[in-house]
Amino acid sequence: RGAFKVLSVTDNLQKLDEGNIQCGTRPRQMVWCTDDCIVLYYAISPPAESMRHIVFVGGPQDDWIPYHYDTPVHLVSEWDGCRIVGPKKTELVQRVPASTEAIFSIGNCDPPAMLCYALERYEKGDVCAQESLRLIKGDLAEAVETCTEAARVELEPQVVQSLLNASKFGRHFMATAPDTSRF
Protein backbone atom coordinates (compact mmCIF):
# COMPACT_ATOMS: atom_id res chain seq x y z
CA ARG A 1 0.00 0.00 0.00
CA GLY A 2 1.17 3.51 -0.75
CA ALA A 3 2.92 2.47 -3.94
CA PHE A 4 2.13 4.05 -7.29
CA LYS A 5 3.46 4.19 -10.83
CA VAL A 6 3.73 7.10 -13.24
CA LEU A 7 2.99 6.01 -16.82
CA SER A 8 3.44 7.83 -20.11
CA VAL A 9 0.12 8.09 -21.94
CA THR A 10 1.84 9.04 -25.21
CA ASP A 11 4.39 6.22 -25.17
CA ASN A 12 2.30 3.03 -24.93
CA LEU A 13 1.92 3.32 -21.12
CA GLN A 14 5.66 3.03 -20.55
CA LYS A 15 6.57 3.28 -16.86
CA LEU A 16 8.35 6.59 -16.20
CA ASP A 17 8.73 6.32 -12.45
CA GLU A 18 7.35 4.63 -9.38
CA GLY A 19 7.24 5.59 -5.75
CA ASN A 20 6.16 4.46 -2.33
CA ILE A 21 5.38 6.74 0.59
CA GLN A 22 4.48 3.92 3.02
CA CYS A 23 0.97 5.17 3.69
CA GLY A 24 -1.90 2.72 4.00
CA THR A 25 -4.68 5.04 2.81
CA ARG A 26 -5.56 6.60 -0.51
CA PRO A 27 -4.65 10.26 -0.97
CA ARG A 28 -7.48 12.76 -1.00
CA GLN A 29 -5.83 14.58 -3.86
CA MET A 30 -2.91 14.10 -6.28
CA VAL A 31 -1.63 16.78 -8.71
CA TRP A 32 1.39 17.44 -10.89
CA CYS A 33 4.00 19.93 -9.73
CA THR A 34 5.86 21.01 -12.90
CA ASP A 35 6.66 18.19 -15.31
CA ASP A 36 8.35 15.63 -13.07
CA CYS A 37 7.07 16.00 -9.49
CA ILE A 38 3.86 14.85 -7.85
CA VAL A 39 2.07 16.33 -4.84
CA LEU A 40 -0.17 14.11 -2.69
CA TYR A 41 -2.56 15.29 0.03
CA TYR A 42 -3.56 12.96 2.85
CA ALA A 43 -6.02 13.56 5.68
CA ILE A 44 -5.20 10.86 8.22
CA SER A 45 -7.10 10.15 11.40
CA PRO A 46 -4.86 8.16 13.72
CA PRO A 47 -6.53 6.37 16.65
CA ALA A 48 -7.16 8.72 19.62
CA GLU A 49 -5.71 11.72 17.77
CA SER A 50 -7.18 14.60 15.82
CA MET A 51 -7.12 14.67 12.03
CA ARG A 52 -3.64 15.16 10.52
CA HIS A 53 -3.27 16.87 7.16
CA ILE A 54 -0.07 15.97 5.30
CA VAL A 55 1.11 17.05 1.86
CA PHE A 56 3.91 15.00 0.26
CA VAL A 57 5.98 16.43 -2.59
CA GLY A 58 7.86 13.76 -4.53
CA GLY A 59 10.34 13.85 -7.36
CA PRO A 60 11.94 11.54 -9.88
CA GLN A 61 14.30 9.75 -7.47
CA ASP A 62 11.53 8.73 -5.02
CA ASP A 63 12.51 11.57 -2.65
CA TRP A 64 9.52 12.75 -0.61
CA ILE A 65 9.20 15.92 1.44
CA PRO A 66 6.28 16.03 3.90
CA TYR A 67 4.50 19.28 4.85
CA HIS A 68 2.18 19.15 7.88
CA TYR A 69 -0.93 21.33 8.19
CA ASP A 70 -3.39 21.91 11.04
CA THR A 71 -6.37 22.41 8.73
CA PRO A 72 -7.62 20.88 5.47
CA VAL A 73 -5.97 22.11 2.26
CA HIS A 74 -6.70 21.98 -1.45
CA LEU A 75 -4.05 21.44 -4.15
CA VAL A 76 -4.06 23.39 -7.41
CA SER A 77 -1.63 22.40 -10.14
CA GLU A 78 0.08 25.41 -11.75
CA TRP A 79 2.41 25.50 -14.77
CA ASP A 80 5.38 26.36 -12.53
CA GLY A 81 4.49 24.43 -9.38
CA CYS A 82 1.61 23.58 -7.09
CA ARG A 83 -0.51 25.97 -5.05
CA ILE A 84 -1.53 24.73 -1.59
CA VAL A 85 -4.67 26.58 -0.57
CA GLY A 86 -5.72 26.58 3.09
CA PRO A 87 -8.38 28.54 4.97
CA LYS A 88 -5.90 31.19 6.19
CA LYS A 89 -3.01 31.13 3.71
CA THR A 90 -1.91 30.03 0.28
CA GLU A 91 1.55 28.63 -0.46
CA LEU A 92 3.34 27.89 -3.71
CA VAL A 93 5.62 24.88 -3.97
CA GLN A 94 7.92 24.85 -6.97
CA ARG A 95 11.16 23.27 -8.08
CA VAL A 96 14.21 25.41 -7.46
CA PRO A 97 15.27 26.70 -10.90
CA ALA A 98 18.70 25.54 -12.14
CA SER A 99 19.91 29.16 -12.29
CA THR A 100 19.03 29.72 -8.63
CA GLU A 101 20.64 26.45 -7.62
CA ALA A 102 23.83 27.37 -9.53
CA ILE A 103 24.15 30.48 -7.37
CA PHE A 104 22.78 29.64 -3.93
CA SER A 105 23.52 25.97 -3.28
CA ILE A 106 25.72 25.45 -0.24
CA GLY A 107 29.45 25.48 -0.92
CA ASN A 108 28.94 26.14 -4.62
CA CYS A 109 31.93 27.41 -6.60
CA ASP A 110 30.23 27.57 -10.02
CA PRO A 111 30.91 30.77 -12.01
CA PRO A 112 27.55 32.43 -11.17
CA ALA A 113 28.10 31.86 -7.44
CA MET A 114 31.65 33.18 -7.74
CA LEU A 115 30.37 36.30 -9.55
CA CYS A 116 27.94 37.03 -6.72
CA TYR A 117 30.74 36.44 -4.22
CA ALA A 118 33.04 38.78 -6.14
CA LEU A 119 30.42 41.54 -6.06
CA GLU A 120 29.90 41.01 -2.33
CA ARG A 121 33.67 41.29 -1.74
CA TYR A 122 33.91 44.35 -4.01
CA GLU A 123 31.11 46.15 -2.15
CA LYS A 124 32.99 45.54 1.11
CA GLY A 125 36.23 46.92 -0.38
CA ASP A 126 37.97 43.53 -0.29
CA VAL A 127 40.77 42.92 -2.82
CA CYS A 128 39.69 39.26 -3.06
CA ALA A 129 36.98 40.39 -5.50
CA GLN A 130 39.55 40.66 -8.28
CA GLU A 131 40.86 37.16 -7.58
CA SER A 132 37.31 35.73 -7.72
CA LEU A 133 36.74 37.39 -11.09
CA ARG A 134 40.05 36.12 -12.42
CA LEU A 135 39.04 32.55 -11.58
CA ILE A 136 35.87 32.75 -13.71
CA LYS A 137 37.15 34.95 -16.54
CA GLY A 138 36.49 32.31 -19.21
CA ASP A 139 32.96 31.67 -17.91
CA LEU A 140 31.98 35.25 -17.17
CA ALA A 141 29.34 35.47 -19.96
CA GLU A 142 27.65 32.32 -18.64
CA ALA A 143 27.77 33.68 -15.07
CA VAL A 144 26.20 36.99 -16.14
CA GLU A 145 23.41 35.21 -18.02
CA THR A 146 22.74 32.82 -15.13
CA CYS A 147 22.48 35.71 -12.64
CA THR A 148 20.05 37.48 -14.97
CA GLU A 149 17.96 34.31 -15.37
CA ALA A 150 17.91 33.73 -11.60
CA ALA A 151 16.72 37.33 -11.10
CA ARG A 152 13.92 36.70 -13.60
CA VAL A 153 12.45 33.84 -11.55
CA GLU A 154 13.20 35.17 -8.05
CA LEU A 155 10.31 36.46 -5.90
CA GLU A 156 12.16 38.46 -3.20
CA PRO A 157 12.86 42.05 -4.38
CA GLN A 158 16.16 42.35 -2.45
CA VAL A 159 17.45 39.11 -3.96
CA VAL A 160 16.37 40.23 -7.47
CA GLN A 161 18.27 43.50 -6.98
CA SER A 162 21.37 41.67 -5.74
CA LEU A 163 21.33 39.26 -8.71
CA LEU A 164 20.89 42.08 -11.23
CA ASN A 165 23.73 44.00 -9.59
CA ALA A 166 25.97 40.92 -9.88
CA SER A 167 25.02 40.57 -13.54
CA LYS A 168 25.75 44.25 -14.20
CA PHE A 169 29.05 43.99 -12.28
CA GLY A 170 30.13 40.98 -14.37
CA ARG A 171 29.25 42.71 -17.65
CA HIS A 172 31.87 45.40 -16.93
CA PHE A 173 34.63 42.78 -17.11
CA MET A 174 33.51 40.89 -20.23
CA ALA A 175 35.71 41.09 -23.33
CA THR A 176 32.69 41.34 -25.65
CA ALA A 177 29.28 42.85 -25.02
CA PRO A 178 26.59 40.29 -24.06
CA ASP A 179 23.68 39.52 -26.36
CA THR A 180 20.83 41.72 -25.14
CA SER A 181 18.21 40.45 -27.60
CA ARG A 182 16.73 38.23 -24.86
CA PHE A 183 15.93 41.22 -22.69
Mean pLDDT of successive 10-residue stretches along the chain, which has 183 residues: 68 72 82 86 83 87 86 93 94 89 92 95 90 91 94 93 95 79 60
Question: Which pLDDT belongs to residue 44?
Answer: 86
Q: Give the separation between CA 19 and CA 25, rounded to whole angstroms.
A: 15
Q: Give the separation between CA 150 and CA 108, rounded to whole angstroms.
A: 15
Question: Which pLDDT belongs to residue 176?
Answer: 79
Q: Give the separation between CA 60 and CA 81, rounded to whole angstroms.
A: 15
Question: Which pLDDT belongs to residue 18?
Answer: 72
- Non-local (6+) Cβ contacts of 78 within 8 A are 92, 94
Closest alpha carbon to 147 in 109, 110, 100, 182: 100
Question: Which pLDDT belongs to residue 180?
Answer: 66
